[in-house]
Structure 1
């Protein structure tokens, strides 16, 4: 899975969060509900309204609900009549706004489906990455993903996508094309491709595709063999993809690593812990504290895949699960951190699916780095702060192939530090058994 560091389209964290997963079975009706209330609200828009209230009431991290009378909120919600689900959704969002927490949010069925598709680390489609070529102004294939219908059908990087099921892609945006290409597993799609001046019509059957969130390659930097790994999000498949990358690079006899978390908006809490354990043999990873003050400490468990020198690249868009991993590596002196201040999100969410296909994300805990640092609204300060100029940012944005090369100032600085061996080796701490995470404890 040796690939370049080209960007690909991802849903933005501000809209639906980073990578998370649906929860295990949850109780949709709180114990306060009587049978008569349940019967009265069944199949009514009010049912979803009260389910959301119940979940927030039982799980939300702030027991004072941002100084709101949460019981009065419920009374007000149930005193209204809702003529449609959409009207109920508006009322739910207005009620949640009282918490002043952008991460506790309601998702309609379409938003929730998009979220679960992303966080599963899988999509139903044909398995291509594409871009709108700046020169030709045509949709162009960047890569056919491993084991995908596209790769098996012979689609190649550089192929132009001229039509999708007979619909011309002229002036079509990447996101709009993606919506047309994705679809139910097992359904058929026809693409017209342009290749070397010839047009090719291909019929493909959509399948479940594991989305690559880890890209990696071996770089020869002077006399150093550097394993460069870029992690774009902490999806359900991120940890297994990271393990494959480290093992592959170990087999290529690298002598150091650069882990690039720039632009990574976060993901599964469990994935961040599992990946931290691939780099750390001992030491704490993260501590979470819920509304009742219960502390849960996640620790390394002697399963590190490498002890080679490591540099981590971060920026202002490295958030949540990225900060858990960065904080663990920094506090344990396992890596030197290079870049700019991270985003500063130290909250954990739980995600619930509701019976009508909508969903709710609820902030359930606060987290702290191994040294007990609260990074919320502050972020993590790199060991080596290096801001990119506007010109440098524009150059990397317009030429993604330069990311992770000597033309990338932050990467180049990391290589210089690794070459000088100026940072501490991993400390030896007493081994502690890790505490297990619940299926619905998520970080995004």
Structure 2
């Protein structure tokens, strides 16, 4: 009997040292996938990282007989962050489920308004910076630049860090809400009915009285949806007699590569990407109305678009949240037709491609798999450098003015009127000569 007790104690000690547990399994899985799939520019050494965080995991799980996977989440996030690659990230199960819903354009997990909000130091309430189409916010009449000051007669907290949670808690209940709104110098009350909404964010077009068409592209997520819709909206602008166009890519975090290639094809004759990983390369692009993949030197059409081509004056708006596929789109127009780009340097993931991998416990990994190249084999820079540097002015927006958009309209209308664009600064130089 004594021997059996000794063997039992020895087995428990072995299990503790070996960390045969869900947390250990998850760390092993993430390390293996990063080693197998990562193809970006980072120079980290995967084995050294694994050893470092293995030691950390053993400390965290020292008192656990079977250490649960959630004990490893913070360590894995730290490990992945050491790659220094903004396209390589780890998501907890809840966050991964949410990002997959957004990429697929499916429905939200809980009631929402359909707005993007900003806390602005010194300004009361929450500033509305985006109102999504076909959502409760749009139906209630909320506009970009509105400030939400109170909900059901209760003012938002003075503490800036508490305002978002205050709103989320009340929206999540799904009951109708009365919102006190400040719109420039006007106070008003709007009734809004939160509900489960579609997370699909398709481009929209607004035609101004001065003849400028404003094309808002909030995302490139949605295979065979975003690219064709851009062509359709450009066609609508042409039929309406638009004189110039401004493309708003602010806060566009990217999406599906096919869609930015197809969408950019409404403004340049051809788009192309060569994606180089550690072992091989792939090619894809858009020309003559087809999105194609290239195998063995032959183009294999994947889907067809009723293509149009915009030839009029053009400007693009970008900011520090313009990322990934939206950066690709901007590069194509900046290099392909010297389009004016106004705003801030972009997020800095415009030279790589990525995939999402679901892990065994429902969490997820986004991994940079390849580096993006032009036809001549040169790599793209990591971010877009605007032709004209200008930041979003939230205080002006709260007063009803979008200064970045106003500047873009001034410039494209000046070009349309035949004025010398050099009056507004040098034209954007291409990154390479085709």
Question: Do they superpose with TM above 0.5?
Answer: yes
Decide which of 240, 246, 250 is 2:234's aligned counterpart: 246
Note if 1:101 corresponds to 2:85: yes
Q: Distance in 2 between matches of 1:130 and 1:75?
A: 39
Decide which of 175, 183, 188 is 1:189's aligned counterpart: 175
* C-alpha spacing 1:340/1:369, structure 2 compared with 1 (3 Å): farther
1:56 positional shift: 1.0
Match of 1:125 in 2: 111
Note if 1:207 corresponds to 2:203: no
When the two chains are superposed, the root-mean-square deviation of aligned CA atoms in Å is 4.5
Match of 1:226 in 2: 212
Retained in 2: the 8 A contact 1:276–1:285?
no
* C-alpha spacing 1:342/1:140, structure 2 compared with 1 (3 Å): closer
Match of 1:368 in 2: 373
Decide which of 259, 272, 278 is 2:247's aligned counterpart: 259
Task: Give the secondary structure class of the aligned counterpart of 1:101.
Answer: coil
Match of 1:415 in 2: 413
Match of 1:297 in 2: 284
* C-alpha spacing 1:404/1:230, structure 2 compared with 1 (3 Å): farther
Decide which of 25, 29, 33 is 1:51's aligned counterpart: 29
Retained in 2: the 8 A contact 1:105–1:360?
yes
Match of 1:35 in 2: none
Retained in 1: the 8 A contact 2:275–2:283?
yes
Decide which of 258, 265, 272 is 1:285's aligned counterpart: 272
Note if 1:355 corresponds to 2:342: no
Q: Distance in 1 between matches of 2:245 and 2:419?
A: 12
Match of 1:25 in 2: none
Note if 1:402 corresponds to 2:402: yes
1:240 positional shift: 5.7
1:115 positional shift: 2.8
Match of 2:389 in 1: 387
1:367 positional shift: 0.8
1:80 positional shift: 3.7
1:274 positional shift: 2.6
Q: Distance in 1 between matches of 2:129 and 2:82?
A: 44
Pick the structure with more helix per residue.
2
Q: TM-score, normalised by structure 2?
A: 0.66
Decide which of 312, 334, 338 is 1:330's aligned counterpart: 334
Retained in 1: the 8 A contact 2:69–2:361?
no
Q: Distance in 1 between matches of 2:328 and 2:187?
A: 49
Task: Give the secondary structure class of the aligned counterpart of 1:273.
Answer: helix
Retained in 2: the 8 A contact 1:119–1:267?
yes
1:76 positional shift: 7.1
Match of 2:316 in 1: 313
Q: Distance in 2 between matches of 1:361 and 1:327?
A: 23
Q: Distance in 2 between matches of 1:47 and 1:267?
A: 30
Retained in 2: the 8 A contact 1:328–1:370?
no
Aligned residues: 367
Task: Give the secondary structure class of the aligned counterpart of 2:94.
Answer: helix
Q: Distance in 2 between matches of 1:76 and 1:130?
A: 36
Retained in 2: the 8 A contact 1:267–1:321?
yes
1:262 positional shift: 4.2
* C-alpha spacing 1:320/1:373, structure 2 compared with 1 (3 Å): farther
* C-alpha spacing 1:136/1:192, structure 2 compared with 1 (3 Å): farther
Q: Distance in 1 between matches of 2:285 and 2:129?
A: 38
Task: Give the secondary structure class of the aligned counterpart of 1:417.
Answer: helix
Match of 2:5 in 1: none
Q: Distance in 2 between matches of 1:72 and 1:193?
A: 49
Q: Distance in 1 between matches of 2:71 and 2:156?
A: 36
Task: Give the secondary structure class of the aligned counterpart of 1:208.
Answer: coil
Note if 1:61 corresponds to 2:27: no
* C-alpha spacing 1:167/1:77, structure 2 compared with 1 (3 Å): farther
Moved more, 294-303 or 121-130: 121-130
* C-alpha spacing 1:95/1:161, structure 2 compared with 1 (3 Å): closer
Task: Give the secondary structure class of the aligned counterpart of 1:179.
Answer: helix
1:349 positional shift: 1.5
Q: TM-score, normalised by structure 1?
A: 0.65
Q: Distance in 1 between matches of 2:179 and 2:367?
A: 44
* C-alpha spacing 1:337/1:135, structure 2 compared with 1 (3 Å): closer
1:100 positional shift: 3.8
1:77 positional shift: 3.2
1:66 positional shift: 2.5
Return the index of the structure with the highest Cα Rg. Answer: 2
